[in-house]
Structure 1
Amino acid sequence: MKIVEVKATTVAVPLEAPLRHSNGAHWGRFVRTIVEIVGDNGLSGFGELGGGGASAEAAITGLAPYLIGHDPLQLEQLRWKIMNPVGSLYNNRMQLHAAIEMACMDLAGKTLGVRACDLLGGAVRETIPFASYIFYRYENPVTGAGGETYADEIVAQVRDLKAQYGFTTHKLKGGHFAPEHDIEVFRALGAAFPEDKLRLDPNSVWSVEEAVRVGHAIEDLNNDYFEDPTWGLEGMRRLRHFVRIPTATNAVVVNFEQLAQCIQHDLVDIILLDTTFWGGLRQAYKAGQVLETFQFGAAVHSSGELGIQLASMLHLGASLANLSFAADAHYHHLTDDIIVGGKLTYHNGAIALPAGPGLGVEVDRDKLAQYAEHYQRTGGYAYDRDPGRPDWFSVFPEQRYADPTVKSAPPEAGVM
């Protein structure tokens, strides 16, 4: 089995409404690059990474000299070819490798008739629980969806998601408004859903002192963890001296050097493992094994996935023995997907591990073409810019918070 061709296609898939966060916004769509590798047996494997456009596609296809003729089962060789640490000083290929490895595991699994998780050692669970992922949203001018800003509106959003999908864990993306606003909303969630688990994630924008103040204000609630309330390993270390909620990060422990420091110095309690940020499904799984050894918590992180990356997250969640928290997913905010059969479905707040070989999902070629054309029509967007505040940019820990009375953004932010 050898790779004979490498392809990359940028797509834009609409969201129900633009998602507001402390570092900017998702402007009404997720832009993703879909990677396809073709084997000499005629089968294709698929991977996915965030962002897109001509430069992202060229970055993938530019790796063809490393990939043509490569056996997709030789995953350790692939890691050294693409992510050699000396070469990566000049060419950071972490997420490129993640998408290519994802595609190789998909192709190898299809060829051998085994699942991607079986290439890691097998599954210890067949369904993976998920948390709702709650955002303050701009209104979508086309559909009228979104516009949630205040506590009663966020509680209503969670009620709808809980009724529709069965979530019993809820994660609020904070930091967009002033800390007092997040405290009010988060406490309202605690009052409305006292039996459910809660998480607050302001994307690192608070100072240590602000994070301590917020942590004390929510400490009595049914908290899973306090995710990236402040920036950096030193900031997270200081925070742990003052707040009793377990801390978590997806931002400052994303490689094995950082993981070693975190464990040696007891800096963060729970590491959120991302199949793209860590450089691939295998790397995230290896990090999970290290966390299991040292009795640190592990969870599965979301980074704006479509169905291909979601499948990789399911295989990671299925194979981690120490997965003690519901996984994150932006997935329920999407209006559609590029996989055959449409979006994967939730049952009682969980998604079943796909049963088919490889990643267990197939790309719908018509949908791929449809959303590639949608990208050509709508273009990309800057994740770290806010369409409702064109002159704003994020500076933390001296964040300039949004005005909660502003509920709409320019029409292009919500284009469908």
Structure 2
Amino acid sequence: MRLRNMHTDKSRFSNESCVAADPIESIETRIVDLPLKKVHNHSTGTHLTQSLVLVTLRTKHGATGYGEGATPAGTSFWGGECSETIKQVIDCYLAPAVCGIDIFAHESILKAMDRASAANNFAKAAVDVAVHDAVGKLHGLPVSALYGGRVRTSIPVLWALASGDLDSDVEDAKRQLEARRHRTFKMKIGMGDASKETARAIQTAEAVWKVEPTAVFTVDLNQAWDEPTCMRFLPRLESAGFAMIEQPLPRWNHEGMARVAARMDIPISADEGLWDFHDAYTSFKACSTDLYGVKVGKGGGIRRAYKAAAVAEAAGVPIYGSMALESSIGTAAGLQLFSALPEMPWGCEMIGPLLLADDLTTVPISYCEYEVVVPNGCGLGVELDHEKIEHYSREK
């Protein structure tokens, strides 16, 4: 061995060849209130607006990253957080905790946020997305490259039928098929009598199947039923040809979800009852979900949603990309992650931009041939329309 060459070899791997540290300098938030194109129904709530929290992160050396915190309607009915609490938690706790930490020290940023606040996954996700956006821009790469690179440039995308009216949903589905935008449909039911809601779902699917036999239907109950109701009516949906049932029982009833899943051939998927990668491990071990809808916001950010997807892959649980009515900003974050995951057999439901009456980016997310296109640019891959953001901002 030539010891005199060791210094030369080590110099090849000096800090000068690495990306320099760049501490987070500031994080700013603002609430943006956007109208929806039409009423959106859940079994536990109805809304015609969507409030979002936009995060602007800046580093010491001038990098800027953008993130978004979004819960359905921006209110607390779905998961406890709302736009007001997301902003407050970031401003008062998360931002002070992470400022000064190197933008590339991602696990340190996550740990600092956990020390500053328990739970508040959507608030943490908004900061996490901004971190990813800044790091991607600094590297000149899309966020997907940070997770191994894209394995797909577009993803099959479903459409939500959430009007609560048979005729309206049928016509909506036909329009989507004619435009070749969607051919998988998620029906929102559970707002009323279980027998009538089941019949409405089946009648809707049968009417659409007459036009397009290859259309796929799923149902989202948003925790509306109890276990006996599931045992009575889910077999009817299964016999009718529905492909999947989402969260039929209350979020806390993991044992009931496991019993329902064991008795049905149709896949049963947890949503409200499954949040981060720790919940994923517990749910898969308990067999309380047959599928996993990966959500960036609910999962605590892109990095932790990736970890949850890896747990699902290890457990052999199929995944799909799920949403919380994000704008093109939050949608881009999800698509960057989903484009890099090894398998997406159930596609995604990233349709927030299509439900909003206006867009917050200069070039909206693109949908064509039944798929949603993954943005190409650095970071999240989208450019913010600051005039639109100012127009819809709650704080003028």
Same fold (TM over 0.5): yes
Matches within 5 A, 1:302-381: 302-331=323-352, 332-341=354-363, 343-372=364-393, 375=394
Aligned counterpart in structure 1 of residue 221 of structure 2, from 202, 219, 224 = 202
- Contact map agreement 2:151 2:341 (CA 8 A) in 1: yes
The amino acid that maps onto 2:159 is S
- Contact map agreement 1:250 1:301 (CA 8 A) in 2: no
Q: Within the alignment, does 1:185 sit opposite 2:187 as a pair?
A: no
**1:42-72 Cα distance to aligned partner (Å, 9 max, x none):** 3321111123665533321223322222222
* Cα distance change, pair 366–185 in 1 and its aligned pair in 2 (3 A): same
2:176 aligned partner: 161
1:35 aligned partner: 55
Q: Report the 3-state secondary structure (helix = DSSP H, G, I; strand = E; otherwise coil) of the residue aligned with 2:339.
A: helix
Aligned counterpart in structure 1 of residue 89 of structure 2, from 59, 62, 72 = 59
Deviation at 1:310, TM superposition (A): 0.2
Deviation at 1:259, TM superposition (A): 2.0
Q: Which has the higher contact order (CA 8 A, sep 6+)?
A: 1
* Cα distance change, pair 29–126 in 1 and its aligned pair in 2 (3 A): same
Deviation at 1:228, TM superposition (A): 0.5
* Cα distance change, pair 234–55 in 1 and its aligned pair in 2 (3 A): closer
**1:72-119 Cα distance to aligned partner (Å, 9 max, x none):** 2211111111124xx54xx33322211111001101101110111111
* Cα distance change, pair 33–265 in 1 and its aligned pair in 2 (3 A): same
Q: Report the 3-state secondary structure (helix = DSSP H, G, I; strand = E; otherwise coil) of the residue aligned with 1:14.
A: strand
More helix as a share of residues? 2
Q: Report the 3-state secondary structure (helix = DSSP H, G, I; strand = E; otherwise coil) of the residue aligned with 1:16.
A: strand
Deviation at 1:330, TM superposition (A): 4.1
Q: Report the 3-state secondary structure (helix = DSSP H, G, I; strand = E; otherwise coil) of the residue aligned with 1:18.
A: strand
Deviation at 1:220, TM superposition (A): 2.4
- Contact map agreement 1:83 1:93 (CA 8 A) in 2: no
1:127 aligned partner: 154
Deviation at 1:302, TM superposition (A): 1.0
- Contact map agreement 1:250 1:274 (CA 8 A) in 2: no
1:111 aligned partner: 138
1:225 aligned partner: 244
Equivalent-residue separation in structure 2 for 1:313 and 1:222 (angstroms): 29
2:111 aligned partner: 80
The amino acid that maps onto 1:64 is A
Q: Any runs of at least 4 consecutive aligned residues in structure 1 with deviations exceeding 4 A, and if so which? A: 52-55
Identity rate, percent:
24
1:213 aligned partner: 232
Q: Provide the aligned C-alpha RMSD in A.
A: 1.8
The amino acid that maps onto 1:365 is H
Deviation at 1:122, TM superposition (A): 1.4
The amino acid that maps onto 2:202 is R
* Cα distance change, pair 54–210 in 1 and its aligned pair in 2 (3 A): closer
Residues matched between the structures, number: 357
The amino acid that maps onto 2:65 is G
- Contact map agreement 2:277 2:311 (CA 8 A) in 1: no
* Cα distance change, pair 300–186 in 1 and its aligned pair in 2 (3 A): same
**1:178-219 Cα distance to aligned partner (Å, 9 max, x none):** 222322222123322231111101101101111122211111
- Contact map agreement 1:151 1:184 (CA 8 A) in 2: no
Q: Report the 3-state secondary structure (helix = DSSP H, G, I; strand = E; otherwise coil) of the residue aligned with 2:171.
A: helix
